[in-house]
Amino acid sequence: MSKVDVLLGLQWGDEGKGKIVDVLTPGYDVIARFQGGPNAGHTLEFNGIKHVLHIIPSGIFHKDKLNVIGNGVLIEPAIFSEEVEALRQKEVEPTHNLYISKKAHLILPSHRLLDAANEQAKGNAKIGSTLKGIGPAYTDKIARTGIRVGDILEFDFREKYQLLKFQHLQIAKMLKFDVDSFRIGDMNLDEYEVKWMESLEVLRKFHLINSEYFINQCLKENKKVLAEGAQGSMLDIDFGSYPFVTSSSTITAGVCSGLGVAPSAIGRVMGITKAYCTRVGAGPFPTELFDQTGRRLCELGHEFGATTGRARRCGWIDIPALRYACMLNGVTDLIVTKPDVMNDFDEIKMCVHYNIGDKKTDEIPFEFNEVEIHPELVSFPGWKQELGEAGGYDQLPERLRTYLAAIEEKTGVRIMAVSVSPDRKDVIFK
Ligand code: GDP
Ligand code: IMO
Ligand code: MG
């Protein structure tokens, strides 16, 4: 019996999960997403092609590998259908190697309306949601009013849909949201609904399965399964900087409920971190840089959201947050991405403790959003060298290796690989 390996983000998302999953896929038989939905944007690059995936797992470009969208994921059929079309344009036919859980919940157009209504009602306290309907759809799941993928095969689907939509419109009215002015792209709600309904036909062409049986059968047959996380540990619904979080379990625990595998079936847990730190949307970010260095990280790292195009906030790597994420996930292997972005930097800093008032702490405080955190920074000399031609790990510049060794030492987790460009070919295994 094999185990499920896990690959997930340790920061606030966008650590490079898509790229790394694509690189690791040849070593697996099945790649499975376990949570999140189209709020994710996972970028892959190879042969000069750049591709962004939102709901479909990042193993999809390997035609001989199976991909699974697990029960913990949210599917927005119209976005899904666009993703399928974009893959077909690149000569990938996903109906062949993508299975979808019947228990995955659907995002309705009116969930997206409610996302906008909720954000508007929050005013200055808004989360900076991607507005893909994530919060409202997970709300309905937990409230036991949601609609699942399997329901699209049932005769009373339309009835269920209309009832739920009616409830959403009532809530939007209560929130004093102007439904008539609401747009998704250039469409109003009614126009988008037509497109959404048509997209169900695309979804119906896929293998809709009880994915928990499928995954467990794969494990029984000793097949290798990789679970692909979305978002990051600091956006987790329980342990992230609540309420500035997403609405799912982004940590290893989410793999069990999002795929239907037992905790004892979890194998290696590979955690990804950038060599610095980014965050998109609102919420605390202790190491954020508001100066020229922050702007350089954003520019050189092309730190613009893969889903919304928003500029990402940038700052130094945050060891207390990273250690917290390693603890919550049981990380066995670290993967560090994007050190190449800092190739020209004279100096690189690392936050090793937080100072809150006159107290030094290594813990993420409960009052994370309220207190002023002064990061205690240590400085490393930059390596001032291109990394493109690097062969093995030992050939990386010594100053970069010193920086990486400090990350290992301070997290207590060994680094398994370092990524030095957006391209599939540039990953150096240790
Ligand atoms: P994900 O959501 O975790 O899959 O990450 P995103 O795709 O949202 O953002 C990561 C961005 O960094 C993408 O534009 C990737 O192409 C890019 N990227 C990934 N790894 C590296 C790397 O090692 N170096 C550089 N320069 N870019 C990288
Ligand atoms: P990937 O998988 C970065 C952020 C949003 C917002 C908050 C809540 O590409 O790493 P939501 O739409 O879930 O209600 O937004 O979470 N967020 C992400 N930030 N990467 C992501 O996914 C994210 N998914 C959500 O910006 O602050
Ligand atoms: Mg992303």
Give the fold, CATH level 3, of 4-101+208-269.
Adenylosuccinate Synthetase; Chain A, domain 1 (3.40.440)
Q: Is the pLDDT of residue 390 over 80?
A: no
List the catalytic residue out of 5, 22, 29, 42: 42
3-state SS assignment for residue 25: helix
pLDDT in the model for residue 173: 97
Cβ of 9 closer than 6 Å to ligand 1, yes or no, is yes
Residues with CB under 5 A from ligand 3 (ion): 14, 41, 306
| pLDDT mean across residues, the chain | 97
Distance from the alpha carbon of residue 37 to the mean position of ligand 2, in angstroms: 10
Give the fold, CATH level 3, of 272-429.
Adenylosuccinate Synthetase; Chain A, domain 3 (3.90.170)
Distance from the alpha carbon of residue 248 to the mean position of ligand 1, in angstroms: 22
Choosing from 7, 8, 19 the residue with most ligand 1 atoms within 8 A of its CB, the one to mutate for a pocket test is: 19
Q: What token pair was written down for 213?
A: 């049986």
42 is catalytic: yes
pLDDT in the model for residue 325: 98
* Residue ranges covered by each domain of the chain: 4-101+208-269, 105-203, 272-429
Helices and strands (H and E) in the chain: how many: 11, 20
Return phi, psi of residue 264, to 5°: -70, -10
**Spatial CA neighbour of 3 closest among 211, 292, 222:** 222
Average pLDDT on 135-157 reads 98
Distance from the alpha carbon of residue 337 to the mean position of ligand 1, in angstroms: 8
The half-sphere exposure of 363 on its side-chain side, counting CA atoms within 13 A, is: 4
Average pLDDT on 371-394 reads 92
Question: 105-203 architecture in CATH?
Answer: Orthogonal Bundle (1.10)
Cis geometry, peptide bond prior to residue 243 (ω within 30 degrees of 0): yes
Cβ of 278 closer than 6 Å to ligand 1, yes or no, is no
pLDDT in the model for residue 118: 97
Closest listed ligand to the CA of 33: 2
User: CA 170, CA 367: separation in Å to the nearest integer?
Assistant: 34
Q: What token pair was written down for 34?
A: 């376990």
- Tens of pLDDT, residue by residue over 81-121, are 999 999 999 999 999 999 999 999 999 999 999 999 999 99
Residue 311 is given by DSSP the state: B
